Amino acid sequence: MNPYKAAEKKWKGFKVVGDDCWEERLREWSSALIDLAASGENGARQVDTIEISPGRSRPIYAFGGHDDTDKTHDGFFLIPDALDHDTQRFLATKCLTEYAEPPHTTNLHQLNQQVENIWQKSQDSSAGDSKAKDPMQSLHWAALGYHYDWTTRTYPAHVGSRIPDELQALGTKFAHAVGLDLTSEAALVNYYKPSSTMGGHQDNVEVTFDHPVISVSLGCSAIFLKGVAKILPVRHLDAFPLEKDGDAAESAIAKYVRVNRLNINVRQVFPATPSSVTKRQKVNDGD
């Protein structure tokens, strides 16, 4: 078994209980766990800041350094708590009520189990208004923009749906924060349950590798394994304080995010030549 697979197998056995002591238990497991509060250790160092709302900035961490002789971690950045609470609520709502709806596609379409109004049907089933299984339990991903084909590991020649403006803006903002450019052409939303895992993989099927992949997470904490040496606790963003008299719809979303995890990633698929940008923009605009 190669070193990465061995590390992956080990960490898949770790269970997050859901209390405030989970990071302490993590550190008992591995000295390789990166503590961003101790910048400079384990190759993590603060390189800049980004303003996420008026008067509020967050640090930008880079990885690598003198011990990263093969440059494995060059170009990998982390911005903890990078979204203000309003943006977190907004994106979580979009993930649950819009991004998994047509014309975007989901894993349920691949199974010929098209479900419209999936979030509302989930709420109906939870309220006992339906005997059907909660469809959110079967939802694993939603694809926007160029819809990635998981079977052939390719992108289609034509765009499948429009990338929402807020995801375009999100990708551009964080790419610019680390000195890079990005036109978001494909987005993927992952819907992780408490026991979900994502196997090790490389994002290497795009036509261009000159632009970053921007990944944003909401909800439950998770372990991010990069290579063998970099193990990051991706923390829960406490953006959904539950209030007894709060709005019912928002409370339902808050409850979902407290026990599940949403990951949004955006990327550029094709090279940014003037002619290709113009052509793809017309397709995205429906011309």
Q: Is the peptide bond before 103 cis (omega within 30 degrees of 0)?
A: yes
Dump strand ranges (E) for the chain.
Answer: 45-53, 56-62, 77-78, 105-106, 141-145, 186-192, 214-219, 222-226, 230-234, 261-267
Give me the residue label for tokens 């944003």.
Answer: 216
What's the pLDDT at 282? 43
Burial 43-82 (b: 16+ CB within 10 A, else e): bbbeeeebebeeeeebbbbbbbeeebeeebbeebbbbeeb
Sheet strands side by side (includes 56-62): 45-53, 56-62, 77-78
Phi, psi of 45 (to 5 degrees): -145, 145
The stretch 63-86 carries a mean pLDDT of 69
- For range 67-94, the mean pLDDT: 77
User: Between β-strands 214-219 and 230-234, what pairing exists: parallel, antiparallel or unpaired?
Assistant: unpaired
Predicted local distance difference test score (pLDDT) of residue 74: 64
| Residue 245 is labelled as binding a ligand | no
Nearest-10 crossing angle of helices 248-259, 85-97 = 90
- What average pLDDT does this structure show over 197-223? 73
pTM assigned to the model: 0.77
pLDDT score, position 162: 95
Q: Per residue in 29-68, pLDDT tens?
A: 665 566 665 655 556 788 899 998 888 899 888 876 544 4
Nearest CA to 16 among 224, 160, 200? 224
Q: How far apart are CA 92 and CA 168, in angstroms?
A: 16
What pLDDT digit, counting tens, does each position of 213-224 carry?
898 989 887 777
Can you read off the two tokens belonging to residue 8?
A: 């992956």
Of 22-26, 123-127, 194-198, 255-259, where does mean pLDDT reach its minimum? 22-26
Q: Is 165 annotated as a binding residue?
A: no
Q: What confidence category does residue 186 fall into, taking pLDDT thresholds of 50, 70 and 90?
A: very high
What average pLDDT does this structure show over 99-121?
A: 87
Give the integer Cα–Cα distance in Å for 96 and 115. Answer: 13
Please give the mean pLDDT across all residues of the chain: 75
Stretch 156-185: mean pLDDT: 91
Mean pLDDT to the nearest integer, 184-211: 75
Which residue has better confidence, 34 or 124? 124
> Which carries the bigger pLDDT value, residue 244 or residue 273?
273
- Of 63, 139, 74, 44, nearest to 101 (Cα)? 139
pLDDT score at 70: 46
Residue listed under structure tokens 């499948």: 160
- Residue with more model confidence, 202 or 147: 147
User: What percentage of the chain carries pLDDT values higher than 90?
Assistant: 23
Give the type of residue at 51.
Answer: E
